[in-house]
Amino acid sequence: MTSEAKAAEVAAADPASPPLTERQEARRRRILHASAQLASRGGFDAVQMREVAESSSVALGTLYRYFPSKVHLLVATMQDQLQHMHTTIRKRPPAGATPAERCAETLMRAFRALQREPHLADAMVRALTFADRSVSPEVDTVSRLTTAIILDAMGLKDAPTPEQLSAVRVIEHTWHSALITWLSGRASIAQVKIDIEMVCRLIDLTSPETDHQP
């Protein structure tokens, strides 16, 4: 299995749920758009369920059937943003010479996309931080999408090794942590870039072609 096929498999491994009708999907898209717009203007606190319902032209009860809480809604908004990033990155793949360089380039592109909407980024990250077990399926989907983005960026000819998949998990943790420290004002974009480039080197260090002998 190629890395691209593996990425698609990872991204598609969502919990089984009935497919939405065209009308339901359109309603869901309106809700997510309204959520992102409100968050972009005022962050986490600006996303109020009643305002989301009004902005998306759905009844409040209907909104709660789609998303039981604001945290569910904002985590779903992050899913939506990551899916958009994934599509964009596939259309314009990274140009780095090594899997590590391609991974770092991709994650920094994703980071800069979030940088352009700092209030939205803060709202989504706060939702992930506040998420309890009831939001686990949505949080897991965010993680799978992040994994799929990294695997696609790596551009491996063969399926990733267990060691490389472990490296990907460490990269995900570092990327998420870097996003939090930047949003809190404790790290500059320059420092984030250094950290992302450093952790992405794990990909090349765990490559089967790398000589691990001392």
* pLDDT tens-digit readout, 45-75: 999 999 999 999 999 999 999 999 999 999 9
**pLDDT confidence bin for 157, thresholds 50/70/90:** confident
The number of helices, as runs of H, and strands, as runs of E, in the chain is: 10, 0
**pLDDT confidence bin for 20, thresholds 50/70/90:** confident
* CB-based contact 12:160 (threshold 8 Å): no
Q: 164, exposed or middle or buried, with CB in 10 Å at 0-12, 13-18, 19+? A: buried
For residue 125, give both structure tokens.
């990250």
For residue 64, give both structure tokens.
């709660």
* CB-based contact 75:139 (threshold 8 Å): yes
pLDDT at 1 > cutoff 60: no
pLDDT (tens digit per residue) in 104-117:
999 999 999 889 99
* CB-based contact 33:73 (threshold 8 Å): no
Q: What is the pLDDT of residue 210?
A: 60
Q: What is the pLDDT of residue 199?
A: 96
